[in-house]
Amino acid sequence: MNKIAIILGSTRPGRKGEPVARWVHEVASKRNDAEYELVDIADYGLPLLDEPMPPIMGQYEFPYTKAWSDKIASFDGYVFVTPTYNRATSGALKNAIDYLHKEWNNKAAGLIAYGGADGISAIDNLRLILSELRIAHVRTQLSFSLHTDFENYSVFKPTPYHEEKLHLILDEVLAWSAAMKTVRATATA
């Protein structure tokens, strides 16, 4: 069975992504087609990238990098939940992604964002980053506006439409995750 991580991509106090990621995990966990796990990058305490060797070498020195590597390597695919900061993904998520290389390669990902302008620019930014790491990001995406999908800019209120779209994302991530297992089995680099 495929293992899919729902990655909460913000570490900021008062972050709006936590209820979004928990909702994604709750909806996904009702399905019986994969094992879904919520992975909060805040739990790993990653400082700004400080490994002496480039991540592509896979020679990690620090315990937090090794723990992060083991966690990310254990999944077949990902659903990233990202805020939009200055028309891009969060620095914390970018940093967490940059810590690793081969652990991400030839896997699939779905993208969910939130922000004042629906988070679309964060999704676009994340697509560029993930492409460099050979992550097959699926076409369907989901974005939430702080103005319309959060009551008083604080209480997350997804609609049935959002849940339908989330299921499409999960279907696509699972299909691509299965296909990418074959790619990983035959990849040389």
Q: Which residues of the chain have pLDDT under 50?
A: none
Comparing CA positions, the residue from 174, 185, 147 lying closest to residue 16 is 147
**What CA–CA distances, in Å, run from 93 to 39, 89, 125, 128, 178?**
12, 7, 12, 14, 25
Predicted local confidence at residue 188, as pLDDT:
63
Whether the model pTM is above 0.85: yes
* Pairwise CA distance, residues 131 & 126, whole Å: 8
Predicted local confidence at residue 118, as pLDDT:
78
Predicted local confidence at residue 116, as pLDDT:
87
What is the maximum span of the chain, computed from C-alpha positions, in angstroms?
Answer: 50
Question: pLDDT of 62-102, one tens digit each?
Answer: 999 999 999 999 999 999 999 999 999 999 999 999 999 99
Domain annotation for the chain: domains and CATH numbers: 3-186 (3.40.50.360)
* Pairwise CA distance, residues 139 & 32, whole Å: 23
Secondary structure element (H or E) that encloses residue 4, with its range: strand 3-8
